């Protein structure tokens, strides 16, 4: 698709590389989504993460995607983006 070079149309006051979105500055009072990717025993791990987040004063929403082998369905991504301030995805084994 690419290997294209473009010339920067901006004032170049910001770095050329896209920056990460701003991080949360605190967890207390934030709504954190936990997305289970359906790997075995993922729920147990996320239960412990939820317990610790609740102790830190966050609100936790639990979500689950049908299979670890595919990206999450579009509707689920949109739901999480509306309902949560940040999301932790349960990866790997």
Partner 1 sequence: MSSDNTHSYTLVVKKACPTCELIQPAIRQLAQQLRLQVYVQDDPAFLADLEDVSSSDDSTLKYSFHHNIEIVPTLIRFDGKEESERIVGWDRQQWRDFSGIEDLGEELIAFKPGCGSMTEDPGMQEVLAARFASDALSARRIDLADAEDEMEACYERGWTDGLPVIPPTPIRVLRMLAASDRAASDIVGRVPPDNVECSVEKVAINAVLAGCKPDYFPTVLSVVEAALKDEFCMHGLLCTTYFSSPVVIVNGPVVKRIGMNSGGNALGQGNRANATIGRALQLLIRNVGGGKPGGIDRATLGNPGKYTFCFAEDESDPDWPSLAMDRGFGRTDSVVSLFAGDGVQPVLDQLSRDPESLALSMAASLRSVAHVKKFGMADAILVVCPEHRRVFREGGWDKERLRQALYDHLMTPGAELMSGVGGMTEGMPEKFKDKLLNKFRDDGLHIVTAGGTAGMFSAIISGWVASGEKGSQLVSKAIV
Say if residues 39 and 93 touch (Cβ distance below 8 Å).
yes
Site residue total, partner 1 (CB under 8 A): 15
Q: Is 82 in the site for partner 1 (CB under 8 A)?
A: no
Among 6, 20, 55, 71, binds partner 1 (CB under 8 A): 6
Q: Does 5 bind partner 1 (CB under 8 A)?
A: yes
| Cβ-based burial of 39 (10 A; exposed 0-12, middle 13-18, buried ≥19) | middle
E strand or H helix that includes residue 50? helix 42-55
For residue 12, state whether it binds partner 1 (rule: CB under 8 A).
yes
Q: Round to whole Å and give the CA distance between 36 and 42.
A: 6
48 near partner 1, judged by CB under 8 A: no
Q: Residue written as tokens 């294209």?
A: 4
- Smallest distance from partner 1 to CB 18, Å: 6
Q: Would you count residue 13 as binding partner 1 (CB under 8 A)?
A: yes
Contact residues for partner 1 (CB under 8 A)?
Answer: 1-13, 16, 18
């Amino acid at each position: 698709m690419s290997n294209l070079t473009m010339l920067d149309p901006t004032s170049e006051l910001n770095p050329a590389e896209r920056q990460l979105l701003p991080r949360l500055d605190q967890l207390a009072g934030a709504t954190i989504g936990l997305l289970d990717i359906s790997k075995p025993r993922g729920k147990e791990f996320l239960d412990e993460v939820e317990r610790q987040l609740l102790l830190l004063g966050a609100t936790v929403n639990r979500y689950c995607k049908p299979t670890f082998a595919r990206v999450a369905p579009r509707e689920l991504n949109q739901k999480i983006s509306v309902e949560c301030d940040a999301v932790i995805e349960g990866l790997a084994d």
